[in-house]
Chain A
Amino acid sequence: MQLFETLFNGFLLGGLYGVIGLGLSITFGTMRVVQLAHGDLIVLAAYFLVTVLVPTGIPVLLAAAMVVPALFAVGWGLQRFVIQPSLGRGVLPPLIVTFGISTVLQNVLLLQATADARTLHSSLASAGVHIGGITVAAVRLVDFAVALLCLGLLLLLLGRTALGRALRATSDDPDTARLMGINPRRMYAAAAAIAAATGGVAGVLLAATSTFYPATGSEMLLIAFEVVVVGGLGSLTGTFLGGILLAMSQLLGARLFGPSYALVTGHLVVLVVLVFRPEGLLPRTAP
Chain B
Amino acid sequence: MAEPLLRVDGLTARYGQLQAVRGVSFEVDAGAALAVIGENGAGKTTLFHSICGLHGAASGAVVFDGEPLRGVPAHAIVRRGIALVPEGRRIFPSLSVDENLRVAEDQHARDRRGSARPRRWTRDRVYELFPDLRAAARRGGHQISGGQQQMLAIGRALLSEPRLLVLDEVSLGLSPAVVKILYQALTAIRAEGMTLVFVEQDVRKSMAFSDHLVCLHKGTVRLAGRSQAQSLDEVRRAYFG
Contacts and interface: CB of A to CB of B under 8 A. Distances in A.
Contacts of A180: 75, 78, 103-104, 107, 156, 160
Interface of B: 52-54, 73-75, 78-79, 83-84, 86, 90, 92-95, 99-100, 102-104, 106-111, 140-142, 156-157, 160
A181 B160 contact: yes
B106 A287 contact: no
A287 B140 CA distance: 11
Contacts of A287: 93, 142
B99 A165 contact: yes
Interface in A139-193: 162, 165-166, 168-169, 171-173, 175-184
A286 interface: yes
B93 A183 contact: no
Interface in A178-213: 178-184
A56 interface: no
Contacts of A277: none
Contacts of B75: 177-184
A interface, over-half SS:
helix
Closest 3 CB pairs of A and B: A286-B93, A181-B107, A162-B106
8 contacts: A162-B109, A165-B106, A168-B95, A169-B100, A178-B73, A179-B157, A180-B75, A182-B107
B106 A179 contact: no
Contacts, number: 84
Contacts of A175: 54, 74, 90
A166 B140 contact: no
A126 interface: no
Contact of B104 (A171, A181, A284, A285): A181
Given A165-B99, A166-B106, A179-B157, 6 more contacts: A168-B95, A173-B90, A179-B52, A180-B156, A181-B75, A181-B104
A178 B78 CA distance: 8
Interface string A204-246: 0000000000000000000000000000000000000000000
Contacts of B73: 178, 183
Contact of A168 (B74, B92, B160): B92
Given A168-B94, A169-B95, A162 B110 contact: yes
B78 A181 contact: yes
Contacts of B74: 175, 178-179
Nearest to B100: A169
Contacts of B106: 162, 165-166
A177 B75 CA distance: 8
A251 to B, nearest CB: 34
A172 B99 contact: no
B140 A286 contact: yes
Contacts of B83: 179
B148 to A, nearest CB: 16
B17 to A, nearest CB: 18
B78 A176 contact: no
B95 A165 contact: yes
A166 B107 contact: yes
A157 to B, nearest CB: 14
A184 B103 CA distance: 13
A172 B92 contact: yes
Nearest to A184: B75
